[in-house]
A = this chain, B = another copy of it.
C-alpha cells in the first residue's frame, strides 16, 4: 500500500484539535501530512472572502500535495473534528527525489503538482464565480498564456468553439456568446467570431474579484 510506504518515513503522530488550521494557503510548506484519524477540509479562498472547499480528507488521505512544485501551500487545511496526522518532512521527499539518478521523477512530481494547483483554480472558478467573472478569468489566463509564448497578449485567435469554452467554464455556449457581446458593449474587448482584441486589460482584470 502507498500509505504504508509513506508511513515508514513519518514516525511522529501529532494531534490537531477540531477547528484548528493545520496549514494555511501561502505558508511555507515544511510538511505534507497523512491523516491518521479525524476529518479535514481543504479550501481555497478569494480576496473578497469567498471560500471553495476542494476536498474532505479522512484517514489515509494526504494533505498538501498541491504545494510540492514550489514549496508553498496552495490551500488551507482545517480539522473538522479532533484528529491525528503524520507529518512528512518536505525535505525528505525532495531528497528522495533528487537522490535517485533520475531528475525525471522529480520533474514529474513538479508537473503533477502544478496540474493539481491548476485544477484547484478551476474548481474555485466553477464553484464560486458568475458568468462575467468566469469569462474574464478565462481571457486573462489566455492572454498571459499567449504572452508567455511570445505572442501578443492583447490580440489573438481562439482555438476553441463557444461550446468548448462554455463546457470549460461551466456555462452554456449562449451565455458565453452573450457575455462576449456584453464585454464588447462595454468597450473591454473587440470580438469577431474567434478573433479577440483586448481593449482594456486593467478594467477586464478588475472584473475578477478573486485573489
- Residue tally, chain A, CB below 8 Å to B: 59
- Per-residue contact bits, chain A 19-60, to B (CB 8 Å; 1 contact, 0 not): 000000000000000000001010100000001111110111
Known: A58-B149, A62-B111, A123-B126. 6 other contacts (CB 8 A): A5-B103, A60-B149, A68-B108, A100-B101, A100-B102, A127-B168
Identical copies in the complex? 2
Using Cβ atoms and an 8 Å threshold, which residues of chain B touch A93?
104, 108
A115 CB–B CB distance under 8 Å: yes
A167 CB–B CB distance under 8 Å: yes
Cross-chain contact A164 with B41 (CB below 8 angstroms): yes
Contact of A112 among B5, B43, B65, B126 (CB under 8 A): B65
Q: How far, in Å, is A144 (CB) from chain B's closest CB? A: 12
Residue of chain B at shortest CB distance from A6: B107
Cross-chain contact B109 with A105 (CB below 8 angstroms): yes
Q: How far, in Å, is A65 (CB) from chain B's closest CB? A: 5
Cross-chain contact B126 with A54 (CB below 8 angstroms): no
Cross-chain contact B127 with A167 (CB below 8 angstroms): yes
Q: Which residues of A contact B (CB under 8 A)?
A: 2, 5-6, 9, 39, 41, 43, 51-56, 58-60, 62, 65-66, 68, 80-81, 93, 96-97, 99-113, 115-116, 118-120, 122-123, 126-128, 145, 149, 159-160, 164, 167-170
A48→B126 CA distance, assembly (Å)? 21
A169→B55 CA distance, assembly (Å)? 10
Using Cβ atoms and an 8 Å threshold, which residues of chain B touch A80?
159-160, 164
A112→B97 CA distance, assembly (Å)? 14
A164→B96 CA distance, assembly (Å)? 36
A56→B142 CA distance, assembly (Å)? 10
Q: How far, in Å, is A210 (CB) from chain B's closest CB? A: 14
Q: Can you list 9 residue pairs at the A/B interface with Cβ under 8 Å?
A: A2-B107, A41-B160, A52-B167, A54-B122, A55-B119, A58-B149, A96-B104, A116-B116, A119-B123
